[in-house]
Amino acid sequence: MSEHSSFYPELTRDITPVEGKLGVLLPGLGAVSTTLIAGVYLVNKGLAEPYGSLTQMQKLRLGKRTHPRFMPIKALVPLADLRDLVFGGWDIFPEDAYQSACIAGVLPPEMLAPIRKELEAIAPWPGVFEQAYVRKLHGTHVKSGSTKMELAEALVRDIENFMSIHGLRRAVMIWCGSTEVYSEAGPTHQTLEAFERGLKDNAPEISPSMIYTYAAIRSGIAFANGAPNLSAEIPALVELATKRGVPVAGKDFKTGQTLLKTVIAPGLKARMLGLQGWFSTNILGNRDGEVLDDPGSFRGKEVTKSGVLDAILQPELYPDLYGRYYHKVRIEYYPPRGDAKEGWDNIDIVGWLGLPMQIKVNFLCRDSILAAPIVLDLILFLDLAQRAGIGGVQEWLSFYFKSPMARPDLKPEHDLFIQHLKLTNTLRILVGEEVLDHSGLDYYMGGQPEDTPT
């Protein structure tokens, strides 16, 4: 805890020190997971740098502008060391992490060669799979059980075995599996009692990702959802997470096109520039693109990608500026492109006197390259939350998601810059440092330097 006074002393935490290894459980051992795992091994060998990771590279300002201190996040708060991460996971295909990485084609063979043995040692356990939720894939490496509760208990046993074999006392689970068919919460999802009854009765509205979430929380393991699936945010699982004091976060990693939307849209709003239309299209050819070629799976992605603009622009407050804009989102499966996604945006904006202007963006990005550092940060921050005794919904991690979880009576924040300030201020609060508000007025209103707030 910092020696400096906090604006929120009641929120400052005694964080349990980092001791031993940290288990990382990954449902879906595909492109994102193998890119993450390979990256961690390469960084540990000194063969690469963890670009894109706040936990590994970002420094925070602490204290007043007149006497600033800059400290790396990983020095400010006690985070697990990358050398202490132990990986395990499930997949509906049997290939080990090296084979899967080669199939994904994100990292070149010469980059995988120095860590081949480490990757080959990670073989997936059979996954929980239901064809109705991922229509484009046909799993060959799947669990069997007469009820969904039996499948959940099989996952719990996998977790227990993994923890025992590696001598682990802590673990985090991050969903890196495929996008499931869009669904909305119903009666089975409202209470823990109804949900557990649904597991025993094979309720069709309980998806594989919900079964993983339930197994993680029941095992006392923090969970984050990297896809648009309905899972951790349903009331039943939030109830379980709150009861058990288990951190949960989600959903849908904010990687390519939506990342840029949460950068550009706040700028338009800050300048009070109007918006007539925003057309977004993507082409990608990886397994994610194949899954999203199904309209049911695409619908979930469409909802998370489309909801960002309204949340940032607030058309209910600014109907003249944003009350009538047209927003179109498309994703096209194009196999030759592989993981190298291309996102095109055409933005029709309105300036002084109602005169039109345009912004055009062509973002040639790599989905898994953008997602891997997000997964790493979530692993380390969720473990931090567990050791700080912060259970339930982790809204301070909204920075990483297209559709952030929040308390039911609160609207989630989508502005990337506000999300970042929320995240970094939360870290400051946890260790007793003063938050930053960036007002600066007292610097120019006669305040003495030693009395000037941040």
Q: What is the mean pLDDT of residues 119-147?
A: 96
Can you give the pLDDT at residue 293?
Answer: 73
Domain residue limits at 91 = 22-253+368-430
CATH for 326: 3.30.360.10
Residue at 92 is within a domain = yes
Same domain, 57 and 203: yes
Same domain, 345 and 377: no
Can you give the pLDDT at residue 454?
Answer: 47
User: At 58, is the secondary structure helix, strand, or coil?
Assistant: coil
Task: Tally the residues of the chain.
Answer: 454
280 pLDDT higher than 70: yes
Can you give the pLDDT at residue 449?
Answer: 53
> pLDDT above 70 covers what percent of the chain?
96
Residue at 438 is within a domain = no
Residue at 224 is within a domain = yes
Q: Is the dihedral angle over the CA atoms 421, 427, 432, 433 positive or is it negative?
A: negative
Same domain, 247 and 313: no
Residue at 215 is within a domain = yes
* Digit-coded pLDDT (tens) for 299-350: 776 776 778 999 999 999 999 999 999 999 998 888 988 888 899 999 999 9
Same domain, 325 and 400: no
453 pLDDT higher than 70: no
Residue at 64 is within a domain = yes
DSSP-assigned letters across all residues of 387-428: HTT--EE-GGGGGGBSS----TTSPPP--HHHHHHHHHHHHH
* Digit-coded pLDDT (tens) for 391-450: 999 999 999 999 999 999 999 999 999 999 999 999 999 999 989 887 777 777 765 555
Asked whether 424 and 278 are in contact (CB, 8 A), the reply is: no
Strand partners of residue 363: 343
Residue at 83 is within a domain = yes
Same domain, 270 and 154: no
Same domain, 187 and 313: no
Query: How far apart (Å, rounded) are the C-alpha atoms in residues 40 and 55?
Result: 13
User: At 318, is the secondary structure helix, strand, or coil?
Assistant: coil
Same domain, 192 and 211: yes
Q: Please state, rounded to an integer, the average pLDDT across all residues of the chain.
A: 93
Identify which has the larger pLDDT, 3 or 101.
101
Asked whether 344 and 24 are in contact (CB, 8 A), the reply is: no
Same domain, 143 and 289: no
Q: Could you tell me which of 424, 345, 444, 383 has the C-alpha nearest to residue 16?
A: 383
5 pLDDT higher than 50: no
136 pLDDT higher than 90: no
Q: Residue 48: pLDDT band by 50, 70, 90 thresholds?
A: very high
User: What is the total count of domains within the chain?
Assistant: 2
Can you give the pLDDT at residue 7?
Answer: 61
Asked whether 6 and 68 are in contact (CB, 8 A), the reply is: no
Can you give the pLDDT at residue 4?
Answer: 44
1 pLDDT higher than 80: no
Same domain, 83 and 49: yes
CATH for 105: 3.40.50.720
Residue at 440 is within a domain = no
Same domain, 335 and 392: no
Last residue of a domain, one of 309, 341, 364: 364
Same domain, 409 and 275: no
97: left (phi over 0), alpha (psi -120 to 50) or beta: alpha
Query: How far apart (Å, rounded) are the C-alpha atoms in residues 309 and 273?
Result: 14
Q: Outline where 146-256 has alpha helix (H).
A: 148-166, 192-200, 208-218, 235-244
pTM reported for the whole predicted model: 0.92
Q: Which segment of 92-101, 167-176, 284-293, 310-319 scores lowest on mean pLDDT? A: 284-293
Whole-Å CA distances, 380 to 18, 85, 171, 391: 11, 10, 10, 15
Same domain, 198 and 148: yes
Residue at 377 is within a domain = yes
